Amino acid sequence: MASKLVRHSHLRALSSSISINNHIRSPHFSNPNRAPLSFSYRPFSNASSSSSTAGFQRASSLKDLELAKFASIAETWWDSEGPFKPLHVMNPTRLAFIRSTLCRHFGKDPNSARPFEGLKIVDVGCGGGILSEPLARMGATVTGVDAVEKNIKIACIHADLDPVTSTIEYCCTTAEKLLEEDRKFDAVIALEVIEHVANPAEFCKSLAALTVPDGATIISTINRSMRSYATAIVAAEYLLHWLPKGTHEWSSFLTPEELVLILQRANITVREMAGFVYNPLTGRWSLSDDISVNFIAFGTKNCQ
């Protein structure tokens, strides 16, 4: 597939020593009932068919199969026991990281209930808005974007339940499209998205371009380590049935070093990084120095 090849060669460019396993395939794409590829996203409405590989080469960060996976489970975004359970459980932990790094960087009062008052934040790949809503409650002016229209619909419906979150601006678009509109944000956040995009380096460049000089960029993803293969894919997708099988493709994961490198090239200096560790006994995630499975990075955009 064309889009796969793009990513493939790109990773090889980053680190030639990594052998890429390209054979982990999602079983459910062979099942016609489970792959409703009828999603459409407004900017590319003419390219909504599943077979239009050529259409996607143009849109650098989009990966059709990845998007189809999300579209097929979109209705369950807010079911805290459903497929997105890991994101729900992890949410307080990653928000604690975002709160502490952004408060420190922007000199905000960490004792305030709405410390992000006055900050413009974009949540790239917002899905159903699991991250956007808390950010809005913390006072930020939030824009949430996702390439899957169904996600955006769910996100809108859910945000409208609470007047505080109904202020979130949701758009079905991509980081690149936002750039064309010349939008800038104090903080650009893309959690658990980069492993699903076609070209991580280009994606990071777009994120950087959306960030104001000296603004912040926060990215979280899954490490490409044996442990992450074991925990994230085998455990989350197969054993715990948290995620539908095939949600992740291990080969497209970045290591922390690779992420730092591509962000550096995009003019973003990573200043803090933390790992998430899951304690199966308490069922909670906590922040730690162990970045071998899930990790989150906070960087600032260099002023030219």
Partner 1 sequence: MKKLTDFELDLKIENGKQLIFLQAHIRMVWDFSLTNMVGFGLSIYALHFQFGVVMLHSCRVIGVVSFIRLKTEETGEIKTGGEPVPPETFSPSLSLSPQLFPSAACCPHTLLLDATVLEVLPSPLSLSQHSQEFLVKEYLGFSMIMMWFWDEHKETHDLSNNIQHYDIAIVGGGMVGMALACSLANMPLTKHLNVAIIDSNPALGSRPYFNKEDPPDPRVSTVTPATISFFKDVGAWQYVEQHRRAYFDKMQVWDYTGLGYTRYNAQDINKEVLGCVVENKVLHGSLLSCIENTDFQKTIYPSRLSSMTLPPSPSSLGMDSTSSRTPLSSQKHLAKLELSDGNSLYTKLVVGADGGKSRVRELAGFKTTGWNYSQNAIICTVEHTVENGCAWQRFLPAGPIALLPMGDNFSNIVWTMNPKESTNRKLMNEDEFVKDVNNALDYGYGPHPTSSLFGSGEMFFWPRAGVTLSANDCFEVPPKVVNLASERMVFPLSLRHANDYVSKHVVLIGDAAHTVHPLAGQGVNMGFGDAFALSRVIAEGIAVGSDIGEVTLLKKYEAERKPANIMMMGILDGFQKAYSVDFGPLNILRAAALHGAHFISPLKRSIISYASGEQKLPLFT
Ligand X SMILES: C[S@@+](CC[C@H](N)C(=O)[O-])C[C@H]1O[C@@H](n2cnc3c(N)ncnc32)[C@H](O)[C@@H]1O
What distance lies between CA 80 and its chain's CA centroid? 18
Is 66 a binding residue for ligand X by CB under 6 A? The answer is: yes
56, 70, 116, 285: residue in contact with ligand X (rule CB under 6 A): 70
Q: Which partner from the list partner 1, ligand X, none does 119 bind, CB cut-off 5 to 8 Å by kind?
A: none
Provide, rounded to whole angstroms, the least separation between the CB of residue 62 and ligand X. 5
Taking alpha carbons only, the member of 211, 196, 56, 212 closest to residue 126 is: 196
Sheet holding 120-124, edge to edge: 169-172, 141-146, 120-124, 185-191, 211-222, 294-301, 268-279, 284-288
Provide, rounded to whole angstroms, the least separation between the CB of residue 39 and ligand X. 9
Amino acid identity at 21 = N
Strand 185-191 to strand 211-222: parallel, antiparallel, or no bridges (unpaired)?
A: parallel
- Three-state DSSP class for residue 286: strand
Give the span between the Cα atoms of 74 and 240, in whole angstroms: 19
Q: Which partner from the list ligand X, partner 1, none does 126 bind, CB cut-off 5 to 8 Å by kind?
A: ligand X
Whole-angstrom CA distances from 260 to 44, 201, 264, 265, 273 are 31, 11, 6, 9, 10
Q: Which partner from the list partner 1, ligand X, none does 70 bind, CB cut-off 5 to 8 Å by kind?
A: ligand X
Taking alpha carbons only, the member of 217, 183, 187 closest to residue 203 is: 217
What is the C-alpha radius of gyration for the chain, rounded to an integer number of angstroms? 18
Give the span between the Cα atoms of 283 and 281, in whole angstroms: 6
Q: Which residue's CB is nearer to ligand X, number 70 or number 97?
A: 70
275: annotated binding-site residue?
no
Burial status of residue 197 (CB atoms within 10 A of its CB: 0-12, 13-18, 19 or more): buried
Amino acid identity at 253 = F
14, 37, 89, 260: residue in contact with partner 1 (rule CB under 8 A): 89
Q: Which partner from the list ligand X, partner 1, none does 192 bind, CB cut-off 5 to 8 Å by kind?
A: ligand X
65, 119, 124, 135: residue in contact with partner 1 (rule CB under 8 A): 135
Q: Using CB under 8 A, which of the segments 16-24, 151-159, 176-184, 268-276 binds partner 1? A: 151-159
Is 117 a binding residue for partner 1 by CB under 8 A? The answer is: no
Bridge partners, 269 (sequence order) = 300
Q: Which partner from the list ligand X, partner 1, none does 138 bind, CB cut-off 5 to 8 Å by kind?
A: partner 1
Positions 20 through 79 that interact with partner 1 (CB under 8 A): 74-79
Provide, rounded to whole angstroms, the least separation between the CB of residue 135 and partner 1. 6
102, 140, 148, 222: residue in contact with ligand X (rule CB under 6 A): 148
Mark residues 174-213: x for contact with ligand X by CB under 6 A, - for none.
x----------------xxx--xx----------------
Q: Contact residues for ligand X (CB under 6 A)?
A: 61-62, 66-67, 70, 87, 124-127, 130-131, 146-148, 151, 174, 191-193, 196-197
Residue numbering of the annotated binding site: 94, 125, 146, 191-192, 195-196
